[in-house]
Structure 1
Amino acid sequence: MLANLWSLGGVALIVVATLGIGLWGSRSARTTDFSAARKPVREERNAAAISGEYLSAASFLGVAGLVLKDGVDALWYPIGFAAGYLALMLFVVAPMRRSGAYTMPDFVEARLNSLNLRSLSTVVVVVIGWLYLVPQLQAAGMTLSAIVGIRYQAGILVVALIVHVSVVSGALRAVTLVQAFQYWVKLFAITLPAFALLMVFLVSGQRQALDEPATPFFQQDTSAHVETDVTLRVTEPVWLTSSEEPGQEGAVYLQPGEYPVRAGSELRFPAGAAVPVVTGSVTDNASWLRPEQEGLPGVLATYSVLIATFLGTMGLPHVLARFYANPSGSGARRTALYVLGMLGAFYLFPTIFGLLSRLYVPQLLVTGRTDAAVLLLPHAMLGNWVGGVLAAITAAGAFAAFLSTSSGLVMSLAGVLSSRDVLWGKSMRFRSAAVLSCVVPVGLALVVHDHDIARSVGLAFAMAASTFCPVLILGIWWRGLTAAGAACGMLTGGSLVLLAALSSHLVGGHGAWSELIGQPALVTVPLAFLVTYLVSLATRSRVPGGVSRLMLRLHAPDRLGFVDSRPVAEQAPRQGRHER
């Protein structure tokens, strides 16, 4: 109970600080502040805000969980998450800023003069945002369930309410302050515990080696509560006590093999027992430390993850909007460079949590809740008040991850949904759009809660890479892109990603081939590029007029003065200018 109070205190502190900064920044908010920055933000602060918004639950919790479960193969996720900003910096961010486009729908309208394509891209933005919000809410429910003991569903609703209040209470500048603050909170919350726990590990006595071809074992009597149906793989004979109903316990001897375990079961293992793992996890430590144990399918799955994360970052709706706060294309590019450094510094530390969790919280391999490793490790290694303080710090960092990413996504989605003057005032429409932005992800998160957070986020990256990446790259660097080509490419890539996700969910399975189906970017991204290019060639007569002038503005050096800081809607009259 005392441990839960420490963690609850950390969560409460970060919520109060977040809402306080948002309310303070909203004191001077105007109606137009809900969809555009009032004035430029310093590059360093904007970089911190972008990093704070980008470091989601997948970064804070999911990376460590994947390392615990999959070993060094999981390190491709943080590499891809960080490298995505390299692609953004090299190919997109400066021309995008010079275009004056605030959102992806703004860009396709300015580049291709098509209101129908703008509507399609708005739908894609919403789908990507929803896919990205779902794992944030899943992580929030899991976190509150782990540290407070409330139901998973209640945790999701609580966080959704806090996110909504945080967004509608402040303008973009207030959100920028919140996101920058939360980056430093997350960096502190991951580095201090990581250093402290690593020191405890180094000065401790006998410990299990991680480079031996043996399964991990329990260092003390351990209980594991299984919350979802799982299948356990046993590689060494093990005695355990099992109870599927309260008061009904029995000793069980398991021979090597696979055994289904029902949700609600309580498994108790004696000290020294080998750890059975959920099917799909790496069983022995030596294999856990070696990359690519599954041959060609594993290599293809790795490349698919890299393509999704490297090319998907540029298509995330809450990322591009942040660079509008920079006054020039070169300033936006410098901001992206700062972001690369900030993300690289952060991603060093979740790996430490994953490594130590293999030794000190192996019961998570039994239950499948490996995403909780960061939250539970401090108490597992230090059962005193020091462990309580470190657990409170990690809980605060985890909550900052949910709030920063979720509020940024809701802000972006609400801005896109309220970008047309169809209701009375922008502020009222923005608040209504913010509600709509939350409802569908909350419903999905309440229904689906048995997937790895990082892999769930990877699906959103695959969708972004398969839809918006071809349009951005070709739209910025090739004057031959047409609205028909962009539409066909987005529909092809997006449909294939959704089909693969649905197939993976319905069929299930484990192994590299099934993982490739769940992360389909290796196939969908090249196909989307190819379809976009071929259809554009077939409709080359419909290349928008004035494309040369726009391309000059996208690529001319800032000092020549071609940057247009006006919103796209103000750059030219609507009538007689757009294709339908």
Structure 2
Amino acid sequence: MTVPAVGALTALAALLCLTAALGACGRRAACTASDLLVASRGVTPWWNASAISGEYISAASFLGTAGLVLAYGADMLWLPIAAAAGHVLLLAFVTAPLRRSGAYTVSDFAEWRLGSRAVRRIVTACVCFIGWFYLLPQFEGAGVTLRVLTGAPVWAGWAVVVAVTPALVLSGGMRSITMVQAVQFWVKLAAVAVPAAALLGLWHMSGGPGPLGDGVPRFDRTTRVHMRTDAAVTVPADVTVTARGRVDGARRDGGPLALAAGRHTIGRGTDVVFPAGAAVPHAERLPAQDAGTWAMPFARGEEHGLYRTYSAMLGVMLGTMGLPHILMRFYTSASGSAARRTAALVPVLLALFYVFPALYGTLGRLYAPELLMTGDTDAIVLLLPGRMLPGAPGSLLTGLVTAGAFAAFISTSCGLAVAVGGTLAQCARRTDPAAFRAGVAVALAAPLALLPGTGAHGAAGLVTVALGVSACSLCPLLVLGIWWRGLTPAGAAAGLLAGGGLAVAAGAARLCRAAPAGWPAALLAEPALLIAPGAFAAMVAVSLLTRRRVPRHTDRALRRLHCPPDPGTGRRAGPRPLVPPDRPFIA
């Protein structure tokens, strides 16, 4: 076993021990349904903001953002900005009213606000699909991490996440994972910041090339590339290589091979050695960009690129407002004002983190360009420390990055498991803890069963599917349910079915690689710009057509959402508010 592999496994073992210790602390305090679902509503703003940030920094943030910057350049920096903007909108429009509702889950809120069990069931289905789509990149990221660093099969990474997540969630629920997620946020921040600072300093002291290089990426030395899967690549310029394996359908025995500029196929297990200075071939799905194109937004002339960018930004921004595992965290706040303070801290913490993935993507263009050929761009954060700093120091940094990566997978998976499992249990109105356990099992089993058939997708691409479903379903429901008196059960159901159903169908088609070329491909890949406004419009239009069916308790519900307690008496202003009809169904 290589030295980096030993360092990675050691760091993983240390992280699992720390996680077990933190989970045990929460487990001793968790004994009621309120502990399981909302940590007894006693989490402080700073602690809760750290836990929310730990949940949000998933595989897509830790691995995917740097990989997207490496592959596509400056265009991808809009996605972290959209995520931060989504948290600002969440702070402005959702957090405090949602906390004042007294609900335990988004489904509880929907039934309390609209008085409809049918709407509750539709919301529960949306929560499940969002959670399942969001869990896919956590499993895939774990598999990629262990495969790249240790050579283990991808299912080994899946097994680690699937084994640790229920152990934490079922033992203490939200109270148990709050401490884990809060501490793991700072582990992730250190894991990405310390190596980035060291590598940036090393690059500066070595007098390396400018951060963009010249023209398309080139190998700075003779480089052997091992293809782990069958791939089609685009060679930018004629080059003579040595190849052992299958190239363009023919078996090669390790002798010289001239590759003309253009498309070539390379078989799984093939080794190709490129001379120093050769232009780096790119996986067929990735654009080959020169320095200027890579550094400028919209410069590469991608088909329907402007639509794709704005649609992705809207999906991430609105989707962040409706993520069930993030929303459920605000129910753990002691009051609406505490939830608002929590939401105000989250963008600050996320901004601290998102400074660093762009550095990895930029340095990766210089020091690990072969990832553009293999398509494993998500691995840049894992491989760059060992590539720039060989030996024991690089192995230590690789171990730190590995710990941060698995902290991202585990903390996000725990939050999703609690959100989906709790929602299913509440919807079933079961009074025994077995319902919560069964819900958690369903939350983890469904994406695990789907993962082998989805093919290889980047972590960020998989997360945008979940965010798209959230943007087109739960976001319209929350915004209109909190701020518009005229929303009716029929309107909410129409918008949820239209928006959520179309978004789920587009996501499933994307995962199955069923998208054709041209506009259909762009619409399936990034549907939020069309579907999300359509979902809002459907809710408003059907509600206007059924305005006589506005729930009778709407005025009292809105007073509860928007009237904070009187600071002198602790009571709310105005008439006595409506008490939510739903109690926690888990004893």
TM-score, normalised with respect to structure 1: 0.94
SS at structure 2 position matched to 1:429: helix
Partner secondary structure for residue 456 of structure 2: coil
> Partner of 1:24 in structure 2?
25
Which amino acid is 2:444 matched to?
C
* Contact 1:98-1:565 within 8 A present in 2 as well: no
Contact 2:29–2:175, Cα closer than 8 Å, also in 1: no
Match of 1:574 in 2: none
**Tell me, what secondary structure is at the counterpart of 2:232?**
strand
Structure 2 CA distance for aligned equivalents of residues 340 and 182 of structure 1: 17
Match among 417, 440, 444 for residue 438 of structure 1: 444
Asked if 1:156 corresponds to 2:162, the answer is no
Match of 1:362 among 344, 369, 374: 369
Would you say 1:270 and 2:283 are equivalent positions?
Answer: no
Distance 2:91 2:431 in 1: 38
Q: Aligned-pair distance for 1:566?
A: 7.7
For the structure 1 residues 144 and 334, does the alpha-carbon distance in structure 2 shift closer, same or farther, using more than 3 Å as the test? same
**How far apart, in 2, do the equivalents of 1:511 and 1:229 lie?**
25
- Pair 1:158–1:206, CA change in 2 (3 A): closer
Match of 1:379 among 378, 386, 389: 386
Equivalent residue letter for 1:562: R
Distance in 1 between the 2:78 and 2:114 partners? 35
CA contact (8 A) 2:556 2:578 kept: no
Whichever residue aligns with residue 356 of structure 2, its letter is F
Measured against aligned partners, the alpha-carbon deviations of 1:72-112 in whole angstroms (never above 9, x if no partner) come to 00111111122210110011111111111221101110110
Q: Partners of 2:293 and 2:304 in 1: how far apart?
A: 16
- Rounded to whole Å, the distance in 1 between the matches of 2:505 and 2:229 is 25
502 and 131 in structure 1: CA distance in 2 versus 1, 3 angstrom threshold: closer
Note if contact 2:421-2:440 (Cα within 8 Å) is conserved in structure 1. Answer: yes
Please list the CA deviations of residues 429-485 of structure 1 after superposition, one character each: whole Å capped at 9, or x if unmatched: 222221111111111223224111101100100000000111111111110001111
**Counterpart mapping for 1:204-353 below 5 A:** 204-207=206-209, 210=212, 212=214, 214-244=215-245, 248-283=253-288, 284-292=290-298, 293-294=300-301, 297-353=304-360
Shift of 1:321: 0.8
| Superposition pairs of residues 548-563 of structure 1, within 5 angstroms | 548-559=555-566, 561-562=571-572
Q: Distance in 1 between matches of 2:412 and 2:169?
A: 11
Q: C-alpha displacement at 1:211, in angstroms?
A: 5.6
Matched residue, 2:195: 193
Q: 1:28 is matched by which residue type in structure 2?
A: A
- 1:113-192 → structure 2 map (5 Å cutoff): 113-192=115-194
Matches of 2:66 and 2:129 in 1, distance apart? 27
Q: Does the CA-based 8 Å contact 2:312-2:528 persist in structure 1?
A: yes
2:546 corresponds to: 539
Alignment check: 8 A CA contact 1:301 1:513 kept:
no
Unaligned runs of 5+ in 1: 572-580
Match for residue 390 of structure 1 among 384, 397, 400: 397
- Map 1:28-43 → 2, pairs under 5 A: 28-32=29-33, 33-43=35-45
Give the letter aligned to residue 17 of structure 1.
Answer: L
Cα distance, 1:333–1:374 mapped onto 2, change above 3 Å: same
**Residue 99 of structure 2 corresponds to residue 94 of structure 1:** no
Query: In the alignment, residue 186 of structure 1 is paired with which amino acid?
Result: K
Number of matched pairs: 570
RMSD: 2.2
1:454 aligns with 2:460: yes
Secondary structure at 2:245 match in 1: strand
In structure 2, C-alpha distance between the alignment counterparts of 1:382 and 1:516, rounded to whole Å: 43
Describe the shift of the 1:474–1:420 C-alpha distance in structure 2 as closer, same or farther (beyond 3 A).
Answer: closer
**Residues 511 and 360 of structure 1: is their aligned pair in 2 closer, same or farther, counting only changes over 3 Å?**
farther
Distance 1:206 1:316 in 2: 42
Distance in 1, matches of 2:244 and 2:581, equals 63
Indicate how the Cα distance of structure 1 residues 48 and 334 shifts in structure 2: closer, same or farther if over 3 A, else same: same
Tell me the amino acid that sits aligned with residue 569 of structure 1.
D
Structure-2-length-normalised TM-score: 0.93
- Give the residue type in structure 2 aligned to 1:101: A
Indicate the residue corresponding to 2:410 in structure 1. Answer: 403
Residue by residue, what CA displacement relative to the aligned partner does 1:285-341 show, whole Å, maximum 9, x if unpaired?
221111103267111111111111111012111011111121221211110010110
| 2:488–2:549 contact (8 Å) kept in structure 1 | yes
Question: In the aligned structure 1, how far is the partner of 2:489 from the partner of 2:56?
Answer: 30
Per the alignment, do residues 265 and 508 of structure 1 end up closer, same or farther by CA in structure 2, a change over 3 Å counting? Answer: farther
1:464 aligns with 2:477: no
Q: Deviations over 1:218-258 (max 9, x none)?
A: 11222222233322111111222223369843432122212
Maintained 8 Å contact 1:279/1:510: no
Question: Could you report, residue by residue, the CA deviation over 1:536-568 in whole angstroms, capped at 9, with x for unpaired residues?
Answer: 111111110011111111111333633989865
The answer as to 2:504 corresponding to 1:491 is no
Secondary structure of the 1:336 match is helix
Cα separation, partners in 2 of 1:516 and 1:351, compared to 1, 3 Å: farther
Deviations 1:118-137 (A, max 9, x none): 11111111111000000110
SS of 2:263's equivalent in the other structure is strand
Q: Using the aligned pairs only, state the percent identity.
A: 43
CA distance in 1, matches of 2:466, 2:505: 13
Q: Do the aligned residues in 1 keep the contact of 2:222 with 2:273 (CA within 8 Å)?
A: yes
Q: 1:355 to 1:18 in 2, by over 3 A?
A: same
- Residue 173 of structure 2 contacts residue 418 of structure 2 at CA under 8 Å; is this kept in 1? no
3-state DSSP class of the match of 1:102? coil
- Evaluate the alpha carbon distance shift between residue 265 and residue 76 of structure 1 in structure 2; reply closer, same or farther with a 3 A threshold: same
C-alpha deviations, 1:349-377, integer Å up to 9, x for none?
10000000000111100100000000000
> Structure 1 pair 146/424, CA: closer, same or farther in 2 (3 Å)?
same
Give the aligned partner of residue 577 of structure 1. Answer: none
Q: Report the Cα offset of residue 510 of structure 1.
A: 7.4
1:423 positional shift: 4.9
**Any conservation in 2 of the 1:156–1:445 contact (CA below 8 Å)?**
no
Equivalent residue for 1:578?
Answer: none
Summarize the Cα distance change of 1:513–1:76 in structure 2 as closer, same or farther, 3 Å threshold.
farther
Query: Is 2:7–2:398's contact at 8 Å kept on the other side of the alignment?
Result: yes
Give 3-state SS (helix, strand or coil) of 2:234's partner: strand
